[in-house]
Amino acid sequence: MAEPSRAAELKAEGVSKSFGSFRALNDLSLDIGRGEFLTLLGPSGSGKTTFLMILAGFESPTSGRLYGDGVDITAQPAEQRAAGMVFQGYALFPHMSVEKNIAFPLRVRKKPEAEIRTRVGAMIERVGLVGHEKKLPSQLSGGQQQRVALARALVFEPGVLLLDEPFSALDKSLRSAMQAEVKRLHEETGTTFVFVTHDQSEALALSSRVAIFHHGKLLQVGDPRQVYERPASRFVAEFLGEINMLPVTGVHRNGVGTVAICDERPIRLLNGGDHVGDAAVLALRPEHITVSPEPKSGFNSITARASGATYLGNTTKLELRTRAGAKLSVAVPHETAALALGSDAVWLNWPTEQGFLLPGGGH
Ligand code: ATP
């Protein structure tokens, strides 16, 4: 196992990047901790790759500073930063065997032959390619090629591994196998991983923290639970998964927390202090709502009428409409969906800790 102390700590301070008059990154500050698995998540064109290229040293920021282990590396070229890299289109050398591909970074660094052999052998074992050493990349499956790319990027024990959508060309089952592989490699090596994706479930499954990008800005950084359960904005809430938004009125504080009114019923909230007096919406993930024939409690229960259902295998997605006309979708057991579709009205209930307020206006 590599020394965790080898893992790099990175810091971006007020980084902006313009291409001509277009601003791809806008005043971005971010601390990346030693040994963490940080994912840059955002829609296409939000600036994730540009930021990764700046971390690698292939692009330089238009303004702002970059620090590696406390040292200003803003002007340091890519070869001196020596980050490991795995990109979707970062091809293996086609004329080199698996072992030669993996050995390449060590040969460039003029390591002794014996050391190269030991390290390459260990890496081949670690990524499960024993028996494939002599093959050319064209003789390997897509997943095996990505394993070679991971091995080649990790063999010289870089302080940071940068991964840009490495699995976007793989099919679903291979993709989840590779995700598990990357997670294991992160745990085993202790290296700092910075991973780019636009797939929110991949980000939530892999990362110790997720940084959400939108239009070149960093909107929120937090662990997967924080960003999913307590998104700071409507964009983050919607980007991370399905979310129901119900208008509320009369937001005010009492001794216990924040209370509000939704569809003439009292709602309790743990957060929401910031929204007192404002127009706000109550945000609820579909899986946090239960459907019942009677209200489960004197608060956090509203009535709705079922309007449609979609069979999803493990659950049914039930579409509903509240009395005030708001649309919701709820993940329920199949029998509950059948019951709701056969009733005039059902009750929707949720635990206080699962509801949160977001600004009522635009995004
Ligand atoms: P994707 O998920 O599609 O890769 P991304 O979030 O990684 O998107 P970037 O590749 O960082 O986004 O691009 C951010 C914006 O900067 C885009 O609008 C892109 O067109 C622009 N851009 C990136 N590189 C250049 C360049 N070399 N010249 C001009 N514009 C660029």
Q: 314 C-alpha vs ligand 1 centroid, how far in Å?
A: 38
Q: What is the pLDDT of residues 145-175, one digit of tens each?
A: 989 999 999 999 999 999 999 888 788 888 8
For ligand 1, atom 2, which residue shows the shortest CA distance? Answer: 44
> 88, 250 in Cβ contact below 8 A?
no
Q: Is the pLDDT confidence value at 194 over 60?
A: yes
Position in ligand 1 atom list of the atom nearest CA 51: 11
Q: Distance between CA atoms of 144 and 176, rounded to whole angstroms?
A: 14
- Atom number in ligand 1 closest to CA 22: 30
Angle formed by the axes of helices 113-126 and 98-108, to 10°? 130
pLDDT, residue 23, reads: 95
CB distance 28 to 214 below 8 Å: no
Q: Residues enclosing ligand 1, CB less than 6 A?
A: 19, 22, 24, 42, 44-50, 198
Residue entry with tokens 């945000």: 283
Rounded to whole angstroms, how far apart are CA atoms 35 and 42?
A: 22
* Gap from CA of 96 to ligand 1 centroid (Å): 31
Amino acid, res. 330: V
With bands split at pLDDT 50, 70 and 90, how would you rate the model's confidence at 274?
low
Q: List, for residues 1-39, the tens digit of each pLDDT value.
A: 444 447 899 999 999 999 999 999 999 999 999 999 999
Q: Which residues are within 8 A (CB) of 118 and not within 5 positions of it... i.e. 6 or more apart?
A: none
Whole-number pLDDT of residue 40 = 97
Nearest by Cα to 214 from 52, 14, 46: 46
**Amino acid at the residue 147:** R
Query: Using an 8 Å Cβ cutoff, are 92 and 145 in contact?
Result: yes
For ligand 1, mutation pick of 16, 18, 41, 49 (most atoms within 8 Å of CB): 49
